[in-house]
Amino acid sequence: MHEASIALSLIEVAREVVRENGGGRVTALTVRIGQWSSVVPEALQAAFPASAQGTPLEGARLSIVRVAGVGQCPQHGPVTLELTRGLRCPLCDAPTPTLLAGDELELDELELAPFVPASELFRHMPKFTEEEFAAREAVMAESREIAQEREFRFDSSEDDLEEENP
């Protein structure tokens, strides 16, 4: 999937920024996507969580800002393009093949969580009683099982497809 590789390269850029800022975890990021770029925001949004797993961006909130296209009309100069009209001036219909804006894909903002040493985190963790701890473990084990089962179902349905359409 096109958007998955875009998510990975955005994450790579973000990790570089995080490194330059002394490390830590990213809690939110904003990406600007031009209306005329080939990126489908919904697909990027969907691909992001899995791509971010195991990186400092895991669990980060991804906001996408859509950037309208701006073309250069020979008569009217820079004009905001309308998606339904294509690359044409909305005022005089002249072709505006050059985009001044609207084909970008860029990292705009990055929100870093302040670095907290693990010892501090443990200090602020609620103290569980033994029963509470056991109950919590049981819930986590159950959700792991459900996740594994889902994965298994996904795999087996793929196999079925291959068998049906050799």
> Where along the sequence are the contacts to Zn ion (CB under 5 A)?
73, 75-76, 89, 91-92, 94
Place of tokens 């895991």: 58
Residue nearest to Zn ion (CB): 89
92 marked ligand binding residue: yes
Q: Is the CB of 91 or the CB of 113 nearer to Zn ion?
A: 91
Distance CA 30, CA 152 (A): 34
- The distance of closest approach from Cβ of residue 121 to Zn ion in the complex, given in angstroms and rounded to an integer, is 59
Q: Is the CB of 8 or the CB of 94 nearer to Zn ion?
A: 94
- The distance of closest approach from Cβ of residue 78 to Zn ion in the complex, given in angstroms and rounded to an integer, is 10
Distance CA 42, CA 93 (A): 30
Distance CA 148, CA 141 (A): 11
Distance CA 106, CA 13 (A): 10
Of the candidates 10, 2, 91, 3, which has an alpha carbon nearest to the alpha carbon of residue 57?
10
- The distance of closest approach from Cβ of residue 157 to Zn ion in the complex, given in angstroms and rounded to an integer, is 52
- The distance of closest approach from Cβ of residue 104 to Zn ion in the complex, given in angstroms and rounded to an integer, is 23
Distance CA 156, CA 146 (A): 15
101 marked ligand binding residue: no
Distance CA 80, CA 73 (A): 10
Q: Is the CB of 55 or the CB of 72 nearer to Zn ion?
A: 72
Distance CA 150, CA 145 (A): 9
89 marked ligand binding residue: yes
Q: Is the CB of 4 or the CB of 94 nearer to Zn ion?
A: 94
- The distance of closest approach from Cβ of residue 87 to Zn ion in the complex, given in angstroms and rounded to an integer, is 12
Q: List binding-site positions for Ni(2+).
A: 2
Q: List binding-site positions for Zn(2+).
A: 73, 76, 89, 92
Q: List binding-site positions.
A: 2, 73, 76, 89, 92
